[in-house]
Every structure is written in C-alpha cells, then in structure tokens.
C-alpha cells in the first residue's frame, strides 16, 4: 500500500499551525512575566527597608501557584500540538513529525543571544 504524500496542506491546517505556535509563545510569555514578578518580589523583601523577611509571603505563594498553573497549561498546549501533528499525518498522508517547528530552530541563535 502506497501512502500519498503529495497532497497540499489544507488552509485550515495552516491556520491552526499558526495559532498553536502563537498559543505556545504566549504561554511562555505569561510564564516569563510571572517569574519576573516572583524575582522582583523576592529581591524587594531582601532590602533593608523591608520590616520583616516574611512580608509578601502570601503574594509569593499565590504567584507560585500561578506559575505552577502556567506550566501545567503550557504542557497541555504542547500535548495538543503533538495530537495535531498526528492528525495532520492522518489527513495528508505524510509521515508524522514536527517539521512545522523548524522555524523555531532556525531562529534559535537570535533567541539565545537575546536570552544572554
């Protein structure tokens, strides 16, 4: 049995591919924002002006829970991406793979420089 691999990718699949990438990027941005806030809270309470080391503990605990929730949410988005890759292979007949994420690999040098 020969599997047809020359079928074009339907427009809805291209749209969903873009949207899942956007969702993944926004999940990362949300996590980074919360981690930045956590860092600021911890640094702020280490200053000499802070009346006690436990000030803001409730906020830190709540931000920690939000961070945990973001990680769980991002995991579900990534699993959805995997499920969509599997569905793409059923629809198009192409072998499953994450070739759609190669754009992220190609730009990794720019992102690594920005992260440094």
pLDDT in tens, 25-57: 999 999 999 999 999 998 888 887 877 767 789
Per the prediction, the chain carries an average pLDDT of 79
Residue in 89, 82, 99, 83 with CA at minimum distance from that of residue 3:
89
Q: How confident is the model at residue 1 (pLDDT cuts 50, 70, 90)?
A: very low
Tell me, what's the pLDDT at 84?
A: 86
**What is the rounded (10 degree) CA torsion for 68, 45, 43, 26?**
30
Binned at pLDDT 50, 70 and 90, residue 60 comes out as very high
Annotated domain spans of the chain = 11-111
Enumerate residues 6+ apart whose C-beta is below 8 A from 28.
74
- Average pLDDT for 90-107: 59
């Amino acid at each position: 049995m020969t599997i047809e691999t020359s079928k074009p990718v339907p427009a809805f699949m291209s749209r969903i591919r873009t949207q899942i990438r956007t969702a993944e990027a926004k999940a990362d941005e949300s996590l980074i924002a919360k981690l930045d806030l956590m860092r600021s809270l911890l640094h702020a309470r280490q200053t000499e002006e802070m009346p006690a080391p436990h000030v803001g503990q409730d906020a830190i605990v709540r931000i920690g829970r939000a961070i945990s929730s973001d990680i769980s949410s991002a995991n579900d988005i990534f699993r959805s991406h995997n499920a969509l890759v599997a569905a793409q292979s059923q629809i198009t007949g192409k072998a499953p793979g994450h070739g759609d994420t190669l754009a992220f690999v190609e730009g990794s040098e720019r992102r690594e420089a920005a992260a440094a």
